[in-house]
Amino acid sequence: MNLAHLFLRTARRDGEAPAVGLGTRTLWTYRQLVDRAARLAGGLRSRFGCEPGERVAIVMENRPEYLEIELATWWAGAAIVPINAKLHPKELGWILGHAEPRVCFVSEKLADAVAEADPPASCRVVEAATVEYADLFEEAAPAMAEVGPDALAWLFYTSGTTGRPKGAMITHGNLRAMTYAYHIDVDEVAPRSALLHAAPLSHGSGCYVSPHAAVGSCHVVPETGGFDEAEVFELWRAWGRVHMFAAPTMVKRLVRHAKAKGLAGEGLATIVYGGAPMYLADLEEAHGVLGFRLAQLYGQGESPMCITALSRREHEAAARAGRRDILQSAGTAQIVVEVAIADEEGRRLSPGAVGEVLARGPSVVPGYWRDPEATRRTMGDGWLRTGDLGALDEQGYLTLKDRSKDLIISGGANIYPREVEEALLTHPKVKEVSVVGLPDPEWGERVVACVVAEPGTRADELDAHCLREIARFKRPRRYVFLDSLPKSAYGKILKRELRDRLAREAASEGS
Ligand code: AMP
């Protein structure tokens, strides 16, 4: 069944319910949103040939059009390809070439970056809020496309450890399964609540669209198009019953703001956090300042938002019972998912033992776009290999110990060292490089590059080089010049040793 039915159901049941808001204003009701999206689907089909099986890319900061483009694409039976607005034009170009969308919607702000990305000739670029965009709504609305559960709904590009992004093929069936599990295990959402999109719709916040559309929440886009603490508190107050996704670093900033301004979170229903580890001290402080209004989920692009969860109620019960082990966990398997822990050979481990987290169920994607080898490696036997390390206890609570060692999560964004290493290795003076993440109180982790380079190489020239090659947020914050990199007997660089050494140096500098 087409995901667009979730919106249509709400439009029929409660058509006057606000569907999309900008700042404190309602822009469209559900009836209007569905009507606009159905007409836009007509434009997508007749102007660009967006039939079932085709793709529609979106390169925009959060803005209201995002939601009607998504719904229109599904209505037409095609799949969305939301692309991180902060990527470098080279990275954008690679994804557009790989996904081969029929059309790419851009905002005014990102139009130049997309032009520089040099999209394939088969992809038309249309800027939102222009005459050309408005013209797409002039076509007659087609009937909603019939699509099966295996039809592609969202091509979700995650950076791959091989340095190239991989497109997780999220189907209509995957998002529907996640939607059911969300309402049972993650959060209770009353009709006519608000969902605040302060995190990117291309990633963290975007997956929340289907469960919230299903019950008739209003999708509120901040005027700033992003995350601003003062604005978030104002929007909570203005809308009331606000739900939102926030990465742990965002939660920390909200708590700091609340303390500084003497606020307690009026209008907030739930913050669902995830995407990176939440430290216990930060969670307890958030409870103290905002009340028991936090829920956690653990998922990844390959099983969107849907592996384990710890609801608000469970947070409260665990805190009152002094069960800090539960607060430190990522909760238990969501209702549609089985979770197991395995060693490197895939043998199942017993409770308490640390190994790789595996997941299986209808939320797990069938594979990666045009990458059968990665599909076979990651979910070939039906079980998703998450690359995260963790342990299950006797009750089924999952504690994440570490993630696959090389992924760096800084400010909620995933940064794969290999991508940064490959960029640095194209600099003529760089001989060897290893990029690691070091703990950072503000960002969770920060990127540090350990470099073996020709004498006299300066950090600022490497920084300038990175700016030309990769997204700004992936650049190393620090360069450490070394004579050689520590290696194992097999010649593999020992990242853990590097991390430990840098952490020891930082500790002795601090003491
Ligand atoms: P992505 O595919 O970009 O959504 O990133 C998914 C990764 O983020 C997971 O594989 C984990 O390493 C990490 N992650 C997601 N949720 C949590 C969580 N609740 N606690 C700790 N790490 C998480």
pLDDT tens digit sequence for 305-358 = 999 999 999 999 999 999 999 999 999 999 999 999 998 889 999 999 988 999
Q: What is the pLDDT of residue 509?
A: 76
486 shares a domain with 385: no
Which residue's CA is minimally distant from atom 1 of ligand 1?
A: 300
Across 156-170, 207-221, 428-442, least confident range: 156-170
Which residue's CA is minimally distant from atom 15 of ligand 1?
A: 275
The rounded Å distance from CA 43 to ligand 1 centre is 37
Q: What is the pLDDT of residue 282?
A: 84
The rounded Å distance from CA 277 to ligand 1 centre is 8
Distance (Å, rounded) from C-alpha 12 to C-alpha 44?
Answer: 24
The DSSP bridge partners found for residue 25 are 22
Q: Is residue 400 part of a domain?
A: no
Distance (Å, rounded) from C-alpha 386 to C-alpha 172?
Answer: 21
Q: Is the pLDDT of residue 196 over 70?
A: yes
Residue 492 pLDDT grade (very low, low, confident, very high; cuts 50, 70, 90) = low
The tokens describing 355, both together, are 């190994």
Across 18-22, 121-125, 422-426, least confident range: 422-426
Do 208 and 195 contact (CB within 8 A), yes or no? yes
429 shares a domain with 378: no
Distance (Å, rounded) from C-alpha 139 to C-alpha 490?
Answer: 63
381 shares a domain with 350: yes
Q: What is the pLDDT of residue 158?
A: 83
197 shares a domain with 81: yes
408 lines ligand 1 (CB under 6 A): no
Q: What is the pLDDT of residue 162?
A: 47
Taken in order 219, 222, 228, 230, the sign of the CA dihedral is negative
Last residue of a domain, one of 344, 365, 392: 392
2 lines ligand 1 (CB under 6 A): no
Q: Residue 460 belongs to a domain with what CATH number?
A: 3.30.300.30
Exposed e or buried b per residue across 303-312, where buried means at least 16 C-beta atoms within 10 angstroms of its C-beta: bbbbbbbbbb
276 lines ligand 1 (CB under 6 A): yes
411 shares a domain with 383: no
The strand pair at 55-59 and 79-82 is best described as parallel
Mean pLDDT of 456-480: 95
Q: Quick count: other Cβ atoms within 10 Å of Cβ 244?
A: 26
Across 8-17, 98-107, 114-123, 480-489, least confident range: 480-489
Which residue's CA is minimally distant from atom 8 of ligand 1?
A: 275
Across 373-377, 399-403, 445-449, 480-484, least confident range: 399-403
Distance (Å, rounded) from C-alpha 349 to C-alpha 333?
Answer: 16
Q: Residue 203 belongs to a domain with what CATH number?
A: 3.40.50.12780
Report CA-CA distances (Å) from 378 to 191, 299, 414, 480. 38, 15, 18, 34
Mean pLDDT, rounded, of the chain: 93
Do 167 and 378 contact (CB within 8 A), yes or no? no
Share of the chain above pLDDT 90, in %: 79
Share of the chain above pLDDT 70, in %: 97
The rounded Å distance from CA 299 to ligand 1 centre is 6
Q: What is the pLDDT of residue 505?
A: 87
DSSP 186: I
Do 214 and 3 contact (CB within 8 A), yes or no? no
Residue 489 pLDDT grade (very low, low, confident, very high; cuts 50, 70, 90) = very low
Q: Which residue out of 170, 298, 306 has the highest number of ligand 1 atoms within 8 Å of its CB and is therefore the one to mutate?
A: 298
Distance (Å, rounded) from C-alpha 55 to C-alpha 301?
Answer: 18
Q: Is residue 443 part of a domain?
A: yes
Smallest CA-to-CA distance from 398 within 349, 347, 361, 344 is with 349
Residue 52 pLDDT grade (very low, low, confident, very high; cuts 50, 70, 90) = very high
Residue 402, burial from CB neighbour count under 10 angstroms (0-12, 13-18, 19+):
exposed
458 shares a domain with 352: no
Smallest CA-to-CA distance from 323 within 399, 401, 250 is with 399
Q: Is 6 helix (H, G, I), strand (E, B) or coil?
A: helix
| Maximum alpha-carbon separation in the chain | 70
345 shares a domain with 451: no
Please spell the DSSP secondary structure of 72-123, one letter per residue: HHHHTT-EEEE--TTS-HHHHHHHHHHH--SEEEE-GGGHHHHHHH---TT-
205 shares a domain with 98: yes
Side-chain-facing half-sphere of 306: CA atoms under 13 Å: 30
Three-state secondary structure string covering 391-415: EECCCCCEEEEEECCCCEEECCEEE
Q: Quick count: other Cβ atoms within 10 Å of Cβ 15?
A: 16
What is the atom index within ligand 1 of the atom nearest the CA of 277? 21
The tokens describing 461, both together, are 């020239």
- Which residue range forms the structural domain that includes residue 483? 407-510
Query: How is the beta sheet containing 398-403 ordered, strand by strand?
Result: 338-342, 355-360, 384-392, 398-403
Distance (Å, rounded) from C-alpha 473 to C-alpha 411?
Answer: 9
327 shares a domain with 231: yes
328 lines ligand 1 (CB under 6 A): no
414 lines ligand 1 (CB under 6 A): yes
The rounded Å distance from CA 357 to ligand 1 centre is 11
Q: Is residue 401 part of a domain?
A: no
Q: What is the pLDDT of residue 414?
A: 78
First to last CA, the chain: 60
Smallest CA-to-CA distance from 462 within 476, 446, 472 is with 476
The rounded Å distance from CA 407 to ligand 1 centre is 10
The tokens describing 133, both together, are 């965009």
Q: What is the pLDDT of residue 488?
A: 57
The residue whose two tokens read 């099966």 is: 148
Do 24 and 238 contact (CB within 8 A), yes or no? yes
Last residue of a domain, one of 392, 426, 460: 392
Across 242-251, 269-278, 399-408, 483-492, least confident range: 483-492
Q: Is residue 66 part of a domain?
A: yes
Q: What is the pLDDT of residue 161?
A: 40
Residue 403 pLDDT grade (very low, low, confident, very high; cuts 50, 70, 90) = low
Report CA-CA distances (Å) from 221 to 199, 227, 275, 387. 10, 10, 21, 33
15 shares a domain with 154: yes
166 lines ligand 1 (CB under 6 A): no
Which residue's CA is minimally distant from atom 22 of ligand 1?
A: 276
Q: What is the pLDDT of residue 506?
A: 81
The rounded Å distance from CA 388 to ligand 1 centre is 8
280 shares a domain with 186: yes
Q: Is 255 helix (H, G, I), strand (E, B) or coil?
A: helix
Q: Is residue 497 part of a domain?
A: yes
The rounded Å distance from CA 127 to ligand 1 centre is 32
Q: Which parts of 441-474 are beta strand (E)? A: 444-453
412 lines ligand 1 (CB under 6 A): no
Distance (Å, rounded) from C-alpha 18 to C-alpha 33?
Answer: 9
User: Domain count of the chain?
Assistant: 2
Calculate the CA dihedral of residues 471, 304, 204, 165 and round it to 10 degrees. Answer: 10
Last residue of a domain, one of 359, 392, 425: 392
Give the H or E element holding residue 345. none
Per-residue pLDDT tens digits for 239-295:
999 999 998 888 989 999 999 999 999 999 999 999 877 878 789 999 999 999 999
336 shares a domain with 439: no
